[in-house]
Structure 1
């Protein structure tokens, strides 16, 4: 068996250390006697949070830190900070799943399905998400790292921005199909990118290492290009399906009543008849949004140029990331590590 590449070895190390930190953070003896039902719920929470994943956000956080420091040596508190970011992401994912009434997340049932059936499970999962948010803040601010407060404030500010996008998406189902829909879909894609936390993790790592403003801006530029390419690619996957061997199935925009960028772009380019058909498909009630209707959406998006327009933007954003990476310093080959980690995102292994 060939030896793992540098980035694969890095991801394995990060996953092991962050998973260990998460398991420790979710052992809460001070809550053990509060309520037996809460103790049972925490068991589900631990299983949910520790489901297999490559922990790309922590990997980028650590890479940003090391690149700014010029060394692969990291303090112990950085692992806890990375675990805190994962708790914040879990909090957001739990709330998203409840809002969308999703069934699966990372190969298992969503938390609200594990806690209780129906609306009760959704309500309970929101409370659990709030608990994880509080635990995440305890962890980030208690990491005892220089710059932890500043980095946490930066990350949370971006969380506020992503909440604005989430509100608009839930209220309207994403972009509307009409004039101006492409611009709105573009803005929502950028806000969803922020919600994934890939770019902000890279910058937070540099902030914790004491990077100057110029390096942080360069890393932010890299992260934004990568995050946008990743989000638009996910929107394509959500409509047309995952590549063979993908770790996680895509979330379908049409079945979830999300008007994503490929659909808005298709409407803007479509002939009047195709526009009317797209509008009719999005007017269907949830029970009629079946595979047959999804097939019609796919055909219309393909024929009207929505797919090719999105792929063009993915390519442009990817090239932007490569160009921005070339401007970064490369102490001890750490820029190559960042580039390799970012390359992993092309295969959807977050």
Structure 2
């Protein structure tokens, strides 16, 4: 009997610095989240709530990038000039994630989303139909309260100031969401481009990229000038992210692992690519775009979507949005170059932003 030759497995490449950073952040933040959602004072309140809290834990701990905590830690380290962080910073980062979970749960209920992070949205897990949506809103309120407890009990010197800053931006997020839901996005008409870009800026706050960097700096005692420079980096990145999302919302393939329906046309959103196309189009194309957006939802099928894509691309809406994405991305790089670079930490932030850009490309 011949011997089977030994074939060595190819070496596994070592993770890059930013990948190792993300893995560390994910592990530490998720450990904090699991601890925060163990609530012995609620364990005997009601068996139905105990069961619901188990669903909440599973939802909050689903695998994800944890980019907000990573940027929070990066902002802290840049301002402090050291990669060493206090234990309370992990708790503050987990509180930010609880706030984001609260926003996501309410958003999913409002938009009747089916999937998020590879699983059913919480309102579908809790109960069928309207009952599940109502219950998920209550669960979101509970997470908001838990997030507040967490942020304010992190025992960091700047926790109260950073929390107030983050919550103020959460208010701006609510304004953007209200306008988006109430009007279905920006209008097709004169002034629509300015309104659509303004709405995109309000909505980008939802991702917490700018606020995470700034909060990290605040918690490290950064002065006003450094906080402003951190905000510039985050705002440029956030705008590029939001506009890229709007391109994917019209021209991308439906991402069934995240949200359904994903297509902004089906959801009736007049996002920046559409409004930019309308502003550049001849009257006949404007009239057709308005007609397509006036269709009842059951008639917004694949044929109508294909025509919308053709009209938006032909009128220059896609290219105009791509130019703004590139401009915002370049703005982030320029703003980043103005930050201090202790121990090469600026390169880490640039690599983290590159990871984010790769994720949304």
TM-score, length of structure 1 as denominator length? 0.97
Q: 1:123 aligns with which of 134, 148, 162?
A: 134
Return the alpha-carbon distance in structure 2 between the equivalents of residues 293 and 69 of structure 1.
Answer: 53
* Cα 1:243–1:325 shift into 2, 3 Å: farther
> Are the counterparts in 1 of residues 116 and 257 from structure 2 also a CA contact under 8 Å?
no
Match of residue 238 from structure 2: 227
Match of residue 305 from structure 1: 316
Return the alpha-carbon distance in structure 2 between the equivalents of residues 127 and 252 of structure 1.
Answer: 28
SS of the counterpart of 1:348? helix
Return the alpha-carbon distance in structure 2 between the equivalents of residues 348 and 279 of structure 1.
Answer: 33
Q: 1:165 aligns with which of 164, 169, 176?
A: 176
* Cα 1:243–1:169 shift into 2, 3 Å: closer
SS of the counterpart of 2:64? coil
> Are the counterparts in 1 of residues 123 and 133 from structure 2 also a CA contact under 8 Å?
yes
Match of residue 69 from structure 2: 58
Q: How far has the Cα of 1:292 moved from its partner?
A: 2.1
Q: How far has the Cα of 1:179 moved from its partner?
A: 1.0
1:92 matches 2:103: yes
Runs of 4+ aligned structure 1 residues displaced above 6 Å come to none
Match of residue 15 from structure 2: 4
Match of residue 120 from structure 2: 109
TM-score, length of structure 2 as denominator length? 0.94
1:291 matches 2:302: yes
> Are the counterparts in 2 of residues 62 and 205 from structure 1 also a CA contact under 8 Å?
yes
Return the alpha-carbon distance in structure 1 between the equivalents of residues 232 and 172 of structure 2.
Answer: 17
SS of the counterpart of 1:34? coil
User: How many residue pairs align between the two structures?
Assistant: 349
Return the alpha-carbon distance in structure 1 between the equivalents of residues 61 and 295 of structure 2.
Answer: 37
> Are the counterparts in 1 of residues 113 and 259 from structure 2 also a CA contact under 8 Å?
no
Q: 1:254 aligns with which of 258, 265, 281?
A: 265
Q: 1:175 aligns with which of 186, 189, 198?
A: 186
Match of residue 3 from structure 2: none
Return the alpha-carbon distance in structure 2 between the equivalents of residues 130 and 349 of structure 1.
Answer: 29
Gaps of 5+ in 1: none
Give the alignment of 1:35-46 within 5 angstroms: 35-46=46-57
Return the alpha-carbon distance in structure 1 between the equivalents of residues 83 and 69 of structure 2.
Answer: 14
> Are the counterparts in 2 of residues 66 and 73 from structure 1 also a CA contact under 8 Å?
yes
Q: Which has the larger radius of gyration?
A: 2
> Are the counterparts in 2 of residues 54 and 349 from structure 1 also a CA contact under 8 Å?
no
> Are the counterparts in 1 of residues 115 and 257 from structure 2 also a CA contact under 8 Å?
no
> Are the counterparts in 1 of residues 249 and 264 from structure 2 also a CA contact under 8 Å?
yes
Q: 1:238 aligns with which of 249, 258, 262?
A: 249
C-alpha deviations, 1:289-318, integer Å up to 9, x for none?
Answer: 222221111111111100000000000001
Return the alpha-carbon distance in structure 2 between the equivalents of residues 294 and 19 of structure 1.
Answer: 39
Q: How far has the Cα of 1:278 moved from its partner?
A: 1.1
C-alpha RMSD of matched pairs (Å): 1.7
Return the alpha-carbon distance in structure 2 between the equivalents of residues 38 and 247 of structure 1.
Answer: 27
Gaps of 5+ in 2: 1-11
> Are the counterparts in 2 of residues 61 and 204 from structure 1 also a CA contact under 8 Å?
yes
1:194 matches 2:205: yes
Match of residue 227 from structure 2: 216
> Are the counterparts in 1 of residues 241 and 360 from structure 2 also a CA contact under 8 Å?
no
Return the alpha-carbon distance in structure 1 between the equivalents of residues 13 and 284 of structure 2.
Answer: 55
Return the alpha-carbon distance in structure 2 between the equivalents of residues 288 and 202 of structure 1.
Answer: 43
Match of residue 346 from structure 1: 357
Q: 1:279 aligns with which of 278, 290, 301?
A: 290
C-alpha deviations, 1:202-222, integer Å up to 9, x for none?
Answer: 100000000011100000001
Return the alpha-carbon distance in structure 2 between the equivalents of residues 107 and 270 of structure 1.
Answer: 39
Q: How far has the Cα of 1:119 moved from its partner?
A: 0.9
